[in-house]
Each structure stands twice: as structure tokens, then as C-alpha cells.
Amino acid sequence: MAFVNVGTILNKARTKLTGSLPRPTLLMWFNETARDVLNQPRTWNFLSVPVEIPIVGNQITMPANMAEVVSIQVGDHFFTKADQLSGLEAMRIDEDLSGSDPIGYTLSAANVVTFHPGATGDAILTGELTMVDDYADGATTIFPMEFENLFICGVLEKAFYVDKDGRFTAENTKYQLEMNKMKKWDNLRKPMPRTTSQGYLKQ
């Protein structure tokens, strides 16, 4: 899969602008657009990426570019965010049970996942990618190439905002249309519910 490159977006946006806007300003607007995408009130399916992490001392540490747990698989055990334990629940499980078959997990503020009462081997963690820092000019992003037009519109919208003339209104409309288009595209990436002869399996 190809991903959006910051420098390519800035070059394409600049060809549609008159004057000599500083490139760092265009870069700032790119990063504002990226934050806007990530802050949409939805779960983006394209951001859910699985990684395999060895379990050490009943724990794994989430990668720095992951914002939250989507799911965790340890052997035949599968957990979602709904299986995250409270501190009290984890304490009671650890007191009453032992072994390496996990019943649930806790997540610390430092993004360390601890399995209770224990776990061994490797965990397949599916987490939601995020921006750790603002992107630099020329960087490759976490956004697939399908988002290219959205980012161009986002940069142009902010460039025209100062004048607030017809160009801003047109670009703002295009930006909203592109955002809706990307949401529909992302919805198609959501896996279909698993079925049996009796109907759908509860996810």
C-alpha cells in the first residue's frame, strides 16, 4: 500500500496558489489537516494495524505510534477493548488464579499491557495508529494515497481562509466532500461479520 507523502502534497498545493507562501506555512497547514482527520468522531479502520510482540514477564509494550488497543490475540485467547480489566478485577484474578492462560488485561498510562493472571509466547496486538509528532517536509505519513485529494483541499482551504472569498467557500465545500468520501471508503475496509449456519457471530 502506498502512503501520502508530505512533500508531494505541498508541491501539488503550491501549483494551485498564487504568490509566494512560505513552505513552512504550507507544512503547518498540512499537519493541521492531518490532526483534523485523526480527530474526527469515528474509528478509522485503516489505522488499525496488527503487530506481533513477544510477551516478557506477562507484559507487552505498545509501539509509540499506537494510540489505543483495538484487539489482542494470545494463542487461542482473543481480547477486545471490552475485555480490559479494572485494577480491582486484575488484583482479584491474580490472587485467585495462576498460570499462563490470560483472562483479561490491564493497560497502564505508559501503554504497557499486562495479562492476568499471566501469558507467554507472542501477542498479536492490533492498535490504532496515530501521529507522534508533526510531520516534516518530505515525510511519508500513515495515511493511504486515497487521502491525497483531501490533504490538497485541506492545505488550499487554509490558504484561502484569510481572504474568506469565493475560493475559500469552494475549497471548504470540496474538503467536506472529500472527507465524506474518505469515510465511505474507510467503511468498506471494515470486516464483514462472521457467520455460521445459525446466523451472525457476536463480535
Q: Which of 82, 80, 84 is nearest to 127 (CA)?
A: 80
pLDDT score at 202: 46
Q: Which domain covers residue 141, as residue numbers?
A: 3-44+131-187
Task: Indicate whether 57 and 123 sit together in one domain.
Answer: yes
pLDDT score at 203: 42
Domain closes at, from 114, 129, 144: 129
Domain count, the chain: 2
- Is there a domain that residue 28 lies in? yes
- Is there a domain that residue 99 lies in? yes
In this predicted structure, the answer to whether residue 165 has a pLDDT above a threshold of 80 is no
pLDDT score at 19: 75
More confident site: 20 or 114: 114
Residue-averaged pLDDT of the chain: 90
pLDDT score at 150: 97
Task: Indicate whether 109 and 51 sit together in one domain.
Answer: yes
In this predicted structure, the answer to whether residue 199 has a pLDDT above a threshold of 60 is no
pLDDT score at 17: 87
Band the pLDDT of 192: cuts 50, 70, 90. Answer: low
Band the pLDDT of 191: cuts 50, 70, 90. Answer: low
